[in-house]
Amino acid sequence: MKLLEERIRKDGVVKPPDILKVDSFLNHQIDPILIREMGREFKRLFEGEGITKVITVEASGIAIAIEAAAEMGVPLVFAKKSRSRNIANDVWTAKVFSFTHGNTNDIVISKQYLSQGDRVLIIDDFLANGEAVRGLVSLCEQAGAEVKGVGIAIEKGFQPGGKELREKGFRIESLAIIESMNGETGEIVFRS
């Protein structure tokens, strides 16, 4: 998506060795016009899949996911990160390790809001190692819901998540895929 690539080039900041900061338009301050366009693009890409529900993980995925859900006219459910040791038995739960932050979170979705018969679109802001998406896929499997696609704002193509998930047969649509980035010069190369 040209609009997103241009914005990343203009306002993204490469933090060596491999982090892209997009706090000025996506991860802290949010550009509502940009994320609305992203939601429209996800609708265009996944139209025809009969999506009944959009899911994401708190926090940064929610804004983009809500635009996609609104465009599609379906509910958004965000998995909560749980710090409590006692996970209730009325929730689906999975462990998600964050390579970037070096910690593990339990993510949970109430059984009430994800169940058999749901045709799910998973949305997230970043795809790096794929841990978050794998956790969300696990919740869907437990629920007997069908994952019809995965929509990502920014995929770091030099990290393995996207490749591994595509090899498993998931339809992954990333609005911008970064082939490489240079922490010293700030240069970002997109996959065409």
Interacting residues with ligand G4P (CB under 6 A): 19-22, 27, 57, 59-61, 98-101, 125-132, 156, 161
| Cβ closest to ligand G4P, residue 10 vs residue 73 | 10
Query: Closest separation between CB of residue 8 and ligand G4P, Å?
Result: 11
- Phi-psi sector, 190: left (phi>0), alpha (psi -120 to 50), beta: beta
Q: Tell me how far CA of residue 55 lies from CA of 10, 50, 150, in angstroms.
A: 29, 14, 10
| Cβ closest to ligand G4P, residue 13 vs residue 33 | 13
Indicate the helix (H) or strand (E) that contains 23. Answer: none
For residue 146, the cross-strand partners are 119
| Cβ closest to ligand G4P, residue 51 vs residue 127 | 127
Question: Which residues, in sequence order, are CB contacts of 51 under 8 Å at separation 6+?
Answer: 72, 74, 119, 120, 121, 148, 149
Query: Closest separation between CB of residue 116 and ligand G4P, Å?
Result: 26
Q: Where are the beta strands (DSSP E) in the chain?
A: 13-15, 19-21, 53-57, 76-82, 91-98, 103-110, 119-127, 146-156, 172-181, 188-190
| Cβ closest to ligand G4P, residue 60 vs residue 93 | 60
Query: Closest separation between CB of residue 135 and ligand G4P, Å?
Result: 8
Query: Closest separation between CB of residue 50 and ligand G4P, Å?
Result: 26
Query: Closest separation between CB of residue 15 and ligand G4P, Å?
Result: 8
Contact (Cβ atoms closer than 8 angstroms) between residue 149 and residue 122: yes
| Cβ closest to ligand G4P, residue 9 vs residue 44 | 9
Query: Closest separation between CB of residue 23 and ligand G4P, Å?
Result: 7
Q: Kindly report the number of other CB atoms within 10 A of residue 91's CB atom.
A: 20
Q: How far apart are CA 96 and CA 179, in angstroms?
A: 25
| Cβ closest to ligand G4P, residue 91 vs residue 159 | 159
